[in-house]
Structure 1
Amino acid sequence: MVKFLVTTGSICLMAALFLPLYANFQGGGAYEVIDSAWYRPLIYTGFALVFIPSILGTLFSLRTVKSGEPAVGLIERVQQTGTYINEQPQLELEVIVTRHGQQPYPARTRAVIPQTALAQFQPGSIIPLLVSPKDPAKVGIDLQGRVSQTDVQNLLHERMMQQGVPQDIMEIAQHGEQLYAKVVDVVPLGSSAPGKVRLQLTLSITTNQGDTVTVNTQKEIFETQLPQVQQGHVIRVMYSKAHPSEVALALPTGEEELRRVFGQNQ
């Protein structure tokens, strides 16, 4: 629609420019055209159709979702629009959106970003989002901290379950007690999903009551986390007496791991 209006406005302006020349070429008077009652409205209409849609488009593009459902976005593409507000650039972002109860899906959003925060908005970065309850395709960047760490953690757990992590392991991760375990033995069982490896682990865990528990379990971890899980190393785990033969590993998670979790096709 904007393109149609701008094209129509351009035609009006070209007509206003060439009609006096054409009239003069035909032997008439150019001033007769210029003094016509329709000439000035033609110019005004042309300018209005050319410039007003562009101005309105910029204003409406600055409107963003300021409240809604918390979500997480994986940035796939970043481009500056050329618009600046108080010397702060407007960015157009293509993101993969992860929200509660849904599979990840692509979306676009625009936002004015402070110069000091531009480094955080690069392809591969994870950012908090707000999703419109009326239209899931409309998303906004949460620059006010409305998306809490708990929201992000819950989305992470849900996404991990979608990728095959058992329910009981997620319950341990969410409700178990954090302990330290010594890696007594580790046997690689080969690669599983892309970027992941399965291990047979023997862990020695000391509970808060001073008891020592030995757990034999198979775990799937990211290949980048493998150096942390070596024989003799001490790692953090989540342990629950309700599931004494299992643990959830509490390994540090970097940006690469988060990208794999929140990616659309992982």
Structure 2
Amino acid sequence: MKTKARAIALLFGALAIGYYLWHGFTFDSEYPYEIGWIGWQIALPIIALTVVPVVFAFTGDGILQAFTGLNSSEFQGGLIGLGTVKSFHHTGVTLNDQPQVRIEFSVEGADGKVFHSAARMIVPLTELALLRPGVVLPVRYLPGRTDKVEVDLSGNGAQAQRAMNASMIRKGFTTEATLDIAERGIRAQAVVQSLSVPGEIRDGHSKIELGLIVTRPDGSTFGTRVQKFLPPTAVGNVQVGRIVQVHYLPENEREVVLSLPVNA
């Protein structure tokens, strides 16, 4: 869509300016020669010189997505990857006082390979504080191209979750059985009764062991222990006394799955 819009704008600009020059050089009338340059046709190059830059500006990276709320046509069919924010900075462009930022990502593709890339997007001022190094966002990328990605705007949470699950299995943070409990299990609340850190680190995540008191739907409770790998930023969410969300299967209360936000 971006390419077509720019091509049409350029074609219009060329035709408008070309007609103006042709009319001026070929003007033949009893009126003064200058009339051929200052008639109604003078509006054509003015319009062209206004429209072309506007089209290029509004079809820039991140601008069109901000208007449509969708990824560009080029990336709508792209693969889903997991982009970890490394840094970001303002590009100097704003849209309705909302800044455009360039985000540097470390992207884990669907095949598990990691590459560095970047995306440009308009970020509302109210959400700018949420964009910080370490935040993980679903991104769209094209196979064989690593220089550019787009933050996924499809709203397809299930697809993003599948990408996250596949990544966690590859890294050894979870298993298919654990994911099954998270999907089919009963949602409940638990209180962290104890916390220990054995010292094992995997891909920047620390292994923790939690003692939990889980409250069943009928109000009764049971105790269990859970092991999980967490990034340093999430350890604060499982301190002793904190209430956490868990899932479990009634027929096997020993296996409890802890549920924490991705960017906790």
TM-score using structure 2 length: 0.55
1:1-266 matches, within 5 Å, as 62=60, 66=72, 67-68=76-77, 69-82=79-92, 90-111=100-121, 118-119=128-129, 121=131, 123-132=133-142, 135=145, 137-142=147-152, 145-167=153-175, 168-193=177-202, 194=204, 196-199=206-209, 201-208=210-217, 212-229=221-238, 234-241=243-250, 243-252=252-261, 254-255=263-264
Q: Secondary structure at the residue paired with 1:146?
A: coil
Contact 1:195 1:223 in 2 (8 A): yes
**Other-structure match for 2:36:** none
SS in structure 1 at match of 2:227:
strand
Shift in alpha-carbon separation, 1:172–1:92, aligned structure 2, 3 A: same
Contact 1:129 1:147 in 2 (8 A): no
Q: Which residue of 1 aligns with 2:32?
A: none
Aligned-partner Cα distance in 1 for 2:195–2:122: 49
Judged with a 3 Å threshold, the aligned counterparts in structure 2 of structure 1 residues 101 and 177 are, in CA distance, closer, same or farther, namely: farther
Q: Supply the AA of the counterpart residue of 1:157.
A: N
Query: 2 CA distance for matches of 1:89 and 1:155?
Result: 29
Distance 1:137 1:196 in 2: 31
Rg (Cα) greater in structure: 1
- Partners of 1:113 and 1:182 in 2: how far apart? 36
Sequence identity percentage: 26
CA contact (8 A) 1:183 1:233 kept: yes
SS in 1 for 2:173: coil
Bigger shift: 163-172 or 221-230?
221-230
Q: Quick check: 2:84–2:106 contact (8 Å CA) kept in 1?
A: yes
SS of the equivalent of 1:161 reads helix
Task: State the superposition RMSD in angstroms.
Answer: 3.9
| 1:146 shift after superposition | 0.9
Alignment deviations for residues 81-139 of structure 1 (CA, whole Å, 9 cap, x no partner): 45566776554332122343433321133345566665555544444422236746542
CA distance in 1, matches of 2:248, 2:172: 20
- Distance of 2:147 and 2:223 partners within structure 1: 48
| Distance in 2 (alpha carbons) for counterparts of 1:243 and 1:95 | 40
Q: Distance in 1 between matches of 2:248 and 2:207?
A: 22
CA shift digits 1:214-252 (9 cap, x unpaired)? 434434444554455455654321102464421111245
CA 1:106–1:179: 2 relative to 1, 3 Å? same
Closer, same or farther: CA 139–254 of 1 in aligned 2, 3 Å = closer
1:59, 1:146 → 2: CA distance?
A: 23
- 1:169 shift after superposition: 1.9
- Structure 2 gaps, min length 5: 1-52, 63-70
Q: Normalising by structure 1, report the TM-score.
A: 0.54
2:20 counterpart residue number: none
**Aligned partners of 1:77 and 1:123 also within 8 Å:** yes
CA contact (8 A) 2:207 2:227 kept: no
Shift of 1:209: 5.4
Question: In the superposition, relative to structure 1, how do residues 232 and 136 fare at CA in structure 2: closer, same or farther (>3 Å)?
Answer: closer
* Residues 70 and 147 in structure 1, CA contact (< 8 A), matched pair in contact too: no
